[in-house]
Each structure stands twice: as C-alpha cells, then as structure tokens.
Amino acid sequence: MELRKTETYSVQQMILEKKSKKKINMEKVIPKLLFITAAISVFTTIGIILTLIFETFIFFDRVSIVEFFTEAKWLPFASAPSYGIMPLIVGTLKITVIAAVVAVPIGLATAIFLSEYASEKTRRIIKPILEVLAGIPTIVYGFFALTFVTPVLRDLFPSLDMFNALSPGIVVGIMIMPMIASLSEDALVSVPKSIREGAYALGATKLETTIKVVLPAAISGIVASIVLALSRAIGETMIVSVAGGSTPNMSMDVTSSIQTMTAYIVQVSSGDAGYGTTIYYSIYAVGMTLFVFTLVMNLLAQFISRKFREEY
Amino acid sequence: MNMTLTREKESPAIEIDNVGSAALTEKVYETSNLNLWYGENHALKNINLDMHQNEVTAIIGPSGCGKSTYIKTLNRMIELVPDVKTTGQIKYRNRNILDQSYKVEDLRTQVGMVFQKPNPFPKSIYENVVYGPKIHGIKNKKILDEIVEKSLKGAAIWDEVKDRLHENAYGLSGGQQQRLCIARCLAIEPDVILMDEPTSALDPISTLKIEELVQELKKDFSIIIVTHNMQQAARISDRTAFFLNGEVIEYSDTNTIFSNPNDKRTEDYITGRFG
C-alpha cells in the first residue's frame, strides 16, 4: 500500500488516542440530562394537579359536592351564598358553542382552500396573516369584542346588553379559527399526492376528490385540531372577562350578561376575597372542574382520532 | 333499471387473433404530431402512435425518455403538472382529447389508470372498489356489491380478500394493493387501462401475477403499459414502442422489435448496451 509507506501518522492511531482522552462519557450523560428536563414538565403537571385536588377537597368540606353540581345558582358573594357551578358551566358552553359555530366552518373552509385550491402566491399571503391572527394577545381580542363587535351587534340587535355571550363568543371563534385552519391544513397537505391522483384517474372532479378522498383521509387530524381549538375556547379567559360580564345564569339567552368558569376565577383572584375563605377555595373547585372538562375533551379527541384513523 | 354488469363492447368487424392480424383491429388512440414541453424542456417530440383495441401496447425506453409523460397525456393526468404545454393531437375513439372542450372527467371515466406505486385510498377494500361507481352516481347497494365481487375477481384478488372486504386496504401486501388498484379501475368498466410501470415496486411473484392478469384483461380491455423491464414487454405485449429522448424511435409488433429491430438504437437498448 502506497499510502501507508508515505504517511508518517496512522488515522487509526489518532482515533484511539482521541478516545482515550475523553473523560466524561457524553453518550451516557446526555440522555440523563434529557430525561431530567423531560421530567420537569411531568413533575410540574403533577404538582398543579395535586394542589388543585388538595384545595378542592377543602372546598368540599365546606360546601357539599351535591350542592355544587345540582344547585342552579352561583351566588358566592350573597349574604346567603349559593355554590352551584351549573351557571358557570352554561356560560362557558355558550361561549364554546358560539365560538365553534364561527370557527369550525371558517377554519375548515380556509384549510381546504389553502391546501387544495390556493395558488402558491395566495398561500404565501394568507398563511402569515393567519399566524398574525393567532399571535394577537387575548386581551386585545377582549377589547376588540367590547369596543367594536358589541357596538356593531347592538346596532343590529338593539336588545343586546352591553355585556353578553354573543360578542365574546364570536371573538373567541375568531381567535381559535387560525388554529383550526392551520392544523387542519397540515393534516390535508400530508395526504399523499398519489391518493389524489388515484381519484382523478377514476374521473373524479377536484371537489369530489377533496370531499370524498382527501377530507376523510385527513379526518383524524381535522378532528384533533377542532377539539384542541375548542379546549382553548373553554379555557379562554380575557375575552370573556372583558366582554362577557359577570352575571352567572342558566338561561340559554345569548344577548344578556354571563359569567364563565375562567371569568369567575379572574374576578375572585383580582378581587379581595381573603385567603382561607370559602370563596377563595371555590376558585380551586371551579379550576378543577375546568381541568376535568379539558381533560375529557382531549381524551375524546384521542378516542375519535384513533377510531377514524386512516393510515397511509 | 337497464344496467348490465357484463361488459358489452362494439365488436370490431374482423375477428381478432392475437398478434399477426393485429393491424386490422380498431384503433383506440391515434396520436399525431404530439409535442410537449415542461416549461422550456421539450419532453415529447413529434410523437405519432396508434393504439389498438384489445391489445397490450408496451412503451419501453430508458429513464427520462418521456414514456411516463406520454402515458399521462393519454388521460391528461399530465395537466396536474404546472407549466405544461402541448401541441398536436391525440384522438381517443376519433375525438381529440387535447381539445379543452373535452371534459377531462369524461375521458378518465373511459380511460382508467394504474400507477407506479400502489395508491389505494385509506379506506376499506370494499370502499376502494366502489369509490369510482359511487362518484358516478351508482348508489344501489346490491349493484355495488356485485361490482365489488366482479371487479375483485377480474383483478384476480377476490379469493384473497373476500373474507375481509371491510378491512383497511393498507393491511394488504404491495402486490395485493396493486391488484386492488386494478380492481378499483375495473369497477367503472373503462375502455382502456393505462399502466405506468405497475410492477416496478413489486416482488417477482407479485409481478408475475400482474403480468398474467394483464393477459387476461386484454380480452375485455385495451391496455397500454409503460415498463422499465424489457422482458416484461416481450412477455405480455402485442406491440411495443421504443422511446428515446422524447422521440419514438421504433414502433411495431413486439416480435419484430425484439427479434428484428429496424433501428440500431433499438437494438442497442434491447440488447442491454445502454439504459
């Protein structure tokens, strides 16, 4: 071998030397470090849940759990307080349903347009706008609801209260719409081109291909995006605090003032309910309920997406 | 309801016996002076080819010779590629399909296609087969059931899947998926079946099954097959066209092409000197 004769060093030798010099075995240390960072989020979650559970138990020592779920009045500040969470749940659901009615059709239509119909140029304009929409602080949305959407709606429906469910519901819908659009678009785009070609080759039109092949193929991603967006709507706080009012009630009327679970927590946290009072502990019980709601939503999303999964 | 499930084809005036008298059969496709550009790239140059009913026409040639491009113009799938320009004529049953007044969906209902990689829909086997009939308005459950059985039998896959029609098509092997795609194509009873290297992603046994199937199918359909594999073309086709650099170098009976080619380049290619 020509090479060995002329060179004065051996590559193998150098590799061996380098190996022997290494003091810390990175291959073993790094995975442990990574595990610790991953564990931080797990411990934080467990900590939050434990706090919630602990404080919630204190609350249920003072107020019976049956009353909490069956009483139809939420009047913690009354001289004869009543702790029935139903009005807060109804308020939250009103917001969520209105938001869904706004966000699901618009978001899905946007996703279909972007992935199937828009030209590259159009997509390049619309996607950043969606991202900007998703990045607006929710307090800004809140004031948008209160100072713009509500007055416009009151021009249309003069009977609308200044604080109501409709306006923040619509604005929460606008807020979560980009999330549905963007995640659903990802799901649609990831449907392989070959599957679309298969449909075209059978004489399917673009619309038939989109609705009967591409949408079903992406359904798990779409459902996941909707559920994720709705759990954000359930947990949304600022918009409903600013524009929704603070009147918990059970009515299905969307034109009058409401209160959601989140808005109640804000009201108490920013007010002067002293530490240790029943009102203070009530925010943990409400928080716990909220947590269970979103947890159930996420489990539901997983179940649905597994059931409808179409792999490719 | 006046729907017959058995295929009725206008039979040509003259009886067909396989290769020799093939020239007498009716023409399905007549391509004249076809040119195609991808942007500036002149991909097909002055193509003139006729394809005949109830025959297997093979298109062979090295990579990048335009054979896939050509077969995709036959059902206008090529239009999915941006910035494609064509001139010339392709007549399918005496009508120019490159004329934009020819509805592409109508064309593709008549001309089915099987792709290089099996591309079943992410649905059940049953749903894959009935997709075509369903979008064309056939909703009767009993008829759809019959179409499924008939198409799967036609694609020689019925026995393997009859007990699991409602399972996802992605549970099938590659070769089975490809035969399912053929069944999906048969379900709308096309006139012509285009196959774009249908066995290139399959193992030898699956390939053999597809080749046997093609022989069976040509009794009822006209088949145009692009293949990378010269032996395959020799085994299954009646006529062969040799493409090189976007041109048709030679087109004649498969026997002639493989035993006595006219052009030096054809001979070089089929004897494995390049490509």
| pLDDT tens-digit readout, A33-76 | 999 999 999 999 999 999 999 999 999 999 999 999 998 899 98
Pairwise CA distance, residues A297 & A136, whole Å: 25
pLDDT band for position A3 (50/70/90)? low
Pairwise CA distance, residues A150 & B264, whole Å: 82
Q: CB count, 10 Å around CB of A14?
A: 10
Pairwise CA distance, residues B158 & A192, whole Å: 27
Q: Do A216 and B132 touch (CB under 8 A)?
A: no
Is the confidence at residue A304, as pLDDT, over 80?
no
Is the confidence at residue B108, as pLDDT, over 90?
yes
Query: Which of B106, B121, B188 is closest, CB to CB, to A213?
Result: B121
pTM given for the model? 0.81
Amino acid at B121: F
User: In the 8-state DSSP scheme, what is residue B225?
Assistant: E
Q: Which residues of A sit within 8 Å Cβ distance of B? A: 192, 194-195, 197-205, 208, 212-213, 216-217, 310-312
Is the confidence at residue B22, as pLDDT, over 70?
no
- The structure tokens listed for A205 are 């039109």
What is the pLDDT averaged over residues A198-220?
93
For residue B195, the model assigns a pLDDT of: 96
Backbone angles phi, psi at B49, to 5 degrees: -150, 140
Backbone angles phi, psi at A133, to 5 degrees: -60, -40
| Cα first-last separation, chain A | 52
From A180's Cα to the closest Cα of chain B, the distance in A is: 23
Percentage of residues of chain A with pLDDT beyond 90: 67
For residue B17, the model assigns a pLDDT of: 44
From B130's Cα to the closest Cα of chain A, the distance in A is: 11
Q: Give which of A202, A222, A309 to mutate to test B binding, by max B Cβ within 10 Å.
A: A202
| Residues B203-240: tens digit of each pLDDT | 999 999 999 999 999 999 999 999 988 999 999 999 99
For residue B272, the model assigns a pLDDT of: 85
Q: Do A203 and B77 touch (CB under 8 A)?
A: no
Q: Do B184 and A202 touch (CB under 8 A)?
A: yes
pLDDT band for position B275 (50/70/90)? low
What is the pLDDT averaged over residues A6-26?
79
Is the confidence at residue B5, as pLDDT, over 70?
no
| Residues B109-166: tens digit of each pLDDT | 999 999 999 999 999 999 999 999 999 999 999 999 999 999 999 999 999 999 999 9
Q: Do B119 and A195 touch (CB under 8 A)?
A: yes
Nearest by Cα to A230 from A99, A55, A77, A116: A99
For B123, which residue in chain A has the nearest alpha carbon? A310
pLDDT, averaged across chain B: 89
From B190's Cα to the closest Cα of chain A, the distance in A is: 9
Pairwise CA distance, residues A194 & A200, whole Å: 10
For residue A289, the model assigns a pLDDT of: 94
For residue A15, the model assigns a pLDDT of: 86
Pairing relationship of beta strands B222-226 and B192-196 according to DSSP bridges = parallel
Q: What angle do CA A159, A161, A163 make, to 5 degrees?
A: 160
SS3 of residue B125 by DSSP: helix
For residue A53, the model assigns a pLDDT of: 94
Q: Which of A107-116, A143-152, A275-284, A303-312 has the lowest mean pLDDT?
A: A303-312
SS3 of residue B251 by DSSP: strand
From A192's Cα to the closest Cα of chain B, the distance in A is: 9
Q: Are B169 and A217 in contact (CB under 8 A)?
A: no
Q: Which residues of B sit within 8 Å Cβ distance of A? A: 75, 77, 80, 105-109, 112-113, 115, 117, 119-123, 131-132, 134-136, 168, 170, 181, 184-185, 188
